[in-house]
Amino acid sequence: MIRLPILFFLFISVSSVFSQQTIQEKIEATKKSDTLVIHEGVYKEHDITISKPITIIGKGKVIIDAEKKGYVFKILSDSVALKNIIIKNVGRSYTKDYAAIYVSRSNNLTIEKVTLENVFFGMLIEKSKNIHIKNSSISSEAKTEAKAGNGIHLWHCSNAIIDGNELHNLRDGIYFEFVKNSVVKNNHSHHNIRYGLHFMFSNNNEYSQNTFNNNGAGVAVMFSKYITMTHNKFLKNWGTASYGLLLKEIYDAEIVKNEFSENTVAVNLEGSTRINYTHNTFSNNGWALKVAGACYKNIFTKNNFLNNSFDVSYNSKINDNSFEGNYWSSYTGYDLNKDAIGDVPYRPVKLFSYIVNQTPETIILLRSLFVDIINFSEKVTPVFTPKNLVDKAPLMQKYND
């Protein structure tokens, strides 16, 4: 259903002017590759379909209120651009994925400076490529996963750039499924009930310079390979099942120069192999690294581990990963030859971490004398710690570039 705008009329820069026309009618009146300028006002419309190459620009404060009915824009053409528009009150459904901006089989898409408020899905894009989404804001009022959608959701897409956006109070801020050769940078994703950024079956992607705070988990990378993660901040992702970074079944990745601070678990690894962790800082987390099964040939070097309750947690006596040349704030060794490398190897796993893995309720004993005693006994006579899980060259000072 399409309704008339209630306050202002539209103006097409390349066509004659008609008052009291809907946005849909004005789109139909334009020619391919035209630019349609929408003047300031509130437009109560939904299911606005774009099926030709066109640029739509809002002039002033342009608000499209869908009144919780269906989609707002449905883009079904190549070479479409949307700029400077506010969209709110997208429809909600248990059977349809209503979105403020729905895109299908569109190439060369640009979405810039749009504000999406109280959405189900913000942008739902499928089977498209060459997508640029920048400097936009997407928010909702998500309470449960079942009743919420994602901010930017890409499915079977490639060559996307997601740059400089803010996303909050959604299910996932950004969700990639079967997406490749794409970049996520300079975004702020926070207070989402599941993940700030989520990869599923998506290879050859990178994300950098983003901030993920107060989410269920900052980022989840699952069933993907060749992911590069650099210069991101994972902050205050607290909760009984919260993580800064959750890795599950991923291979051949780079995790470089990231900051992990005040997360329940900074990085949770499960089935993750051949990943290089370098120049990262882990500070004031519950667990800096929590390693579950089937993690092989990972390399941890030149990282800073500062004041974490547990630096490393293992649930196995077998270790095939390398920990060497890191700085550990709890290291108590010495450096007699003054080469900046500790003379005594450091074992980052505490016995109490095994006990907590088996019985989480025992965490209340963390600061007790009893725990200090059993950790000391394991340090003197290791029984549970894998023999080769040791940093043979711990740094005496924090690593700085």
In order along its 401 residues, the chain shows pLDDT tens digits of 344 443 334 444 443 344 458 999 999 999 999 999 999 999 999 999 999 999 999 999 999 999 999 999 999 999 999 999 999 999 988 888 899 999 999 999 999 999 999 999 999 999 999 999 999 999 999 888 878 899 999 999 999 999 999 999 999 999 999 999 999 999 999 999 999 999 999 999 999 999 999 999 999 999 999 999 999 999 999 887 789 999 999 999 999 999 999 999 999 999 999 999 999 999 999 999 999 878 999 999 999 999 998 899 887 777 889 999 999 998 988 999 989 999 999 988 776 666 667 677 666 666 666 667 766 666 666 666 777 788 999 999 998 86
Find, among 241, 172, 183, the residue nearest to 212 by Cα: 172
Question: Which pLDDT value is given to residue 143?
Answer: 82
**Which amino acid belongs to residue 166?**
E
The sign of the dihedral angle between the CA atoms of 70, 83, 130, 208 is negative
**Which amino acid belongs to residue 9?**
F
Token pair in block for residue 35: 């630019």
Model pTM score: 0.88
Question: Which pLDDT value is given to residue 381?
Answer: 67
Q: Is 349 left (phi over 0), alpha (psi -120 to 50) or beta?
A: beta
Task: Compute the distance between CA of residue 399 and CA of residue 193 in angstroms, rounded to an integer.
Answer: 34
Which residues, other chains included, contact 323 with Cβ-Cβ below 8 Å and sequence gap of 6+?
A: 300, 301, 312, 348, 389, 390, 391
Question: Which pLDDT value is given to residue 7?
Answer: 37
Residues 272/249, Cβ–Cβ less than 8 Å: yes
Residues 345/323, Cβ–Cβ less than 8 Å: no
Count of C-beta atoms within a 10 Å radius of residue 259:
17
Task: Compute the distance between CA of residue 70 and CA of residue 88 in angstroms, rounded to an integer.
Answer: 12
Residues 292/312, Cβ–Cβ less than 8 Å: no
Tell me if residue 287 falls in helix, strand or coil: strand
